[in-house]
Amino acid sequence: MGNYIAKRVVLLIIIIFFVSVAAFFLVHLLPGNPAVTILGPNDTPQNAAILNHQLGLDKPLVEQYFIWIGHVFQGNLGQSFTTHETTTSIISTSYPIDVELIVFSQLMAFAIALPMAIKASRRPNRLFDQLSNSAAFGMLALPPFVIGPIMVLIFAVHWHVFPGPASYVPITQGFWSNIHTMLLPSIVLALGSIVVYFRLLRNDLISTLQQDFITMARSKGLSDRRIMWRHALRPSSVTLLASAGVTIGTLIAGTFVVELLLQMPGLGFQIISSINQDDYTVVQGIVLIVAVAIVLVNFAFDFIFTLVDPRIARD
């Protein structure tokens, strides 16, 4: 167990190191002289000197990396050349939106997928199971960038049930109006997750319910409800937990889409406006932070997972 965790931590550090190297080298993918391209119309000798110092572009490559990573560890990810805001402050004001979206949508997804899967797995291949299975299969072909605009069209533009684009209210300016603006994007995100959780849980439950210990529980005369919640769901929860970690990458893609769609100033919205303004240092900073965050979340789920089911560590 300890050995397993140590191995995972080493792998984690190696991955984060490579992520940082990759993020560092992004600047060198720019055509021509990076400093000139990054600065664009702001290419004054003074700015160039600041940028060259920031990126260490005048030094050998390896040294450049260590200068840059040194700045990163000091919380210095450079600054925007259009607004002069630091990348760190851009990230710290926008990431709560992403976190809220993800947490909110996942709560919704679990609340819907769990009862659906339980109902479907009680009678496999009967009407409810077949209907929900077909619906889930269809939903696989409706990623957020397809279903999102359709939902906005129907629920915000036509029916005015939810606020439309560019009406985001920060949580500090009213809790309920914030929740109101969060509902539509969260539903869009939740739809994709419901499919994943439902399909996994249903298949898992069906095979669990055929096992001997369930027959045993039944013959003891336990109620269906008790068998489901106390006996069948417990092993399946492990699979579910694992998939929650794996889907974080897909979820981030989804949050970027809904943020652009509804003009919510989260990380996705920020990175896209920075790209459109050629604000390369901000892009680089956000990429680094988001990538490291995803890697860490994956690691955390992996870790929880080992605690829940220690058999994994033994393999």
Options 44-52, 76-84, 92-100, 279-287: segment touching other proteins (CB under 8 A): 279-287
Q: From the list 141, 173, 220, 225, which residue makes contact with other proteins (rule: CB under 8 A)? A: 141
The CB-of-65 to other proteins minimum distance in angstroms stands at 16
Q: Is 146 in the site for other proteins (CB under 8 A)?
A: yes
- Determine the Cα–Cα distance for residues 273 and 258; give it in Å rounded to an integer: 14
The residue from 24, 87, 197, 233 that contacts other proteins (CB under 8 A) is 197
Nearest CA among 197, 189, 155, 154 for reference residue 266: 189
Report DSSP letters for 150-213, one per residue.
HHIIIIIIIS-SS--TT----GGG-HHHHHHHHHHHHHHHHHHHHHHHHHHHHHHHHHHHTSHH
Nearest approach, Cβ of 221 to other proteins (angstroms)?
Answer: 25
- Least distance (Å) between residue 45 CB and other proteins: 24
Under the binding rule (CB under 8 A), the answer on residue 18 touching other proteins is yes
Q: Residues near 35 by Cβ (< 8 Å), separated by ≥ 6?
A: 43, 48, 51, 52, 55, 57
Site for other proteins in 291-310 (CB under 8 A): 291, 294-295, 298, 302, 305, 309
Chain positions 110 to 129 lying near other proteins, rule: CB under 8 A, are 124-125
Residue 190 binding other proteins, by CB under 8 A: no
Angle between helices 87-122 and 175-209 (to 10 degrees): 40
Asked if residue 235 binds other proteins (CB under 8 A), the reply is: no
Q: At what angle do helices 248-261 and 267-276 cross, to 10 degrees?
A: 70
Name which of 26 and 179 has its Cβ closer to other proteins: 26
Q: How far apart are CA 48 and CA 30, in angstroms?
A: 16
99 touching other proteins, by CB under 8 A: no
Q: Which is nearer to other proteins, 11 or 226 (CB)?
A: 11
Of 50, 156, 222, 304, the residue at the interface with other proteins (CB under 8 A) is 156
Q: Specify the length of the chain in residues.
A: 315
Task: Give Rg (Cα) of the chain.
Answer: 24
